[in-house]
């Protein structure tokens, strides 16, 4: 960016719509923006643009809430929960002295845990993420 912005966060903003990126400024100048309103930036970008943002998924607070993850993983979250519940029940059964039931529940937990981890590996290969990651955008031409 040109060196006329000492503290860019005070004067620059961006908007993303789909694959389009728009860079706006409210820095007052004599020619285009005497009132300090948000307008399209009229300077060249020479060294690229770095945009940092943080996102955190919404918390699940009730049984009727959907987790804030990709829809294809919803079914497999149930496998994760089943694995944890079976493991907890296996521990309780072992403490009560019922080793056969504990072993059966542990095997069920392992089975569901494997389904969960296999699906996470497949999902990771797809490189689809609602929250973050690299994005390719083209700037909008505001002329």
- Higher pLDDT, residue 134 or 8: 8
pLDDT band for position 50 (50/70/90)? Answer: confident
Name the packing angle between helices 99-126 and 74-95 (round to 10°).
160
pTM value is: 0.46
- pLDDT for 82-98, tens place per residue? 999 999 999 999 999 99
- For the chain, the straight-line distance linking the first and the last C-alpha, in angstroms and rounded, comes to 19
- Higher pLDDT, residue 62 or 99: 99
Structural domain boundaries in the chain: 8-53, 71-125
Average pLDDT on 34-55 reads 72
């Amino acid at each position: 960016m040109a060196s006329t912005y000492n503290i860019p966060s005070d004067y620059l903003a961006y908007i993303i719509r789909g694959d389009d990126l728009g860079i706006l400024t409210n820095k007052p100048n004599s020619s285009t923006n005497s009132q300090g309103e948000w307008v399209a930036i009229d300077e060249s970008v020479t060294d690229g643009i770095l945009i940092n943002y943080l996102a955190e998924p919404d918390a699940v607070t009730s049984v009727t809430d959907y987790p804030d993850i990709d829809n294809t993983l919803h079914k497999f979250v149930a496998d994760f929960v089943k694995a944890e519940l079976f493991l907890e029940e296996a521990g309780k059964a072992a403490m009560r002295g019922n080793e056969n039931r504990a072993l059966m529940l542990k095997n069920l937990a392992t089975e569901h845990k494997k389904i969960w981890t296999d699906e996470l590996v497949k999902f990771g290969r797809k490189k689809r993420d609602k929250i973050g990651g690299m994005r390719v955008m083209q700037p909008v031409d505001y002329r």
